[in-house]
Amino acid sequence: MDRGNAMFDETRNDERVNIVTKCSLDINGTKYDCIVDNISTLGASIEMNGLDQITLHVGDVGTLHVLLISIVQYLCKIVRIDSHGVGLQFVDD
């Protein structure tokens, strides 16, 4: 079920880094545990529980907390929700 198609992949102008690491997504005061499967300077693709995905909507803004060498935070907007996961675009403060 595709609930958003903002051409996340088609308009990419930076390089993705394939990585598998724990993360959490905070949207509207709710924390969702998830996994980052790739990240770039402009956004990330995450995998999360399908039941959690039902509560999210394209355009929701929140904070992604990613465990890299240390925990890094990104303000982000949901740009894609489908059976492959959730696409996030990083936004400025």
What pLDDT, on the 0 to 100 scale, is given for residue 46?
97
pLDDT digits (tens, 9 = 90+) for 6-30: 334 455 567 888 889 999 999 999 9
Domain ranges of the chain: 17-90
Strands (E), the chain: 17-27, 30-39, 43-48, 61-67, 71-82, 85-90
pLDDT digits (tens, 9 = 90+) for 46-70: 999 988 999 999 999 999 999 888 8
Mean pLDDT across the chain, nearest whole number?
86
Whether this model's pTM surpasses 0.75: yes
CATH 2.40.10.220 fits 17-90, yes or no: yes
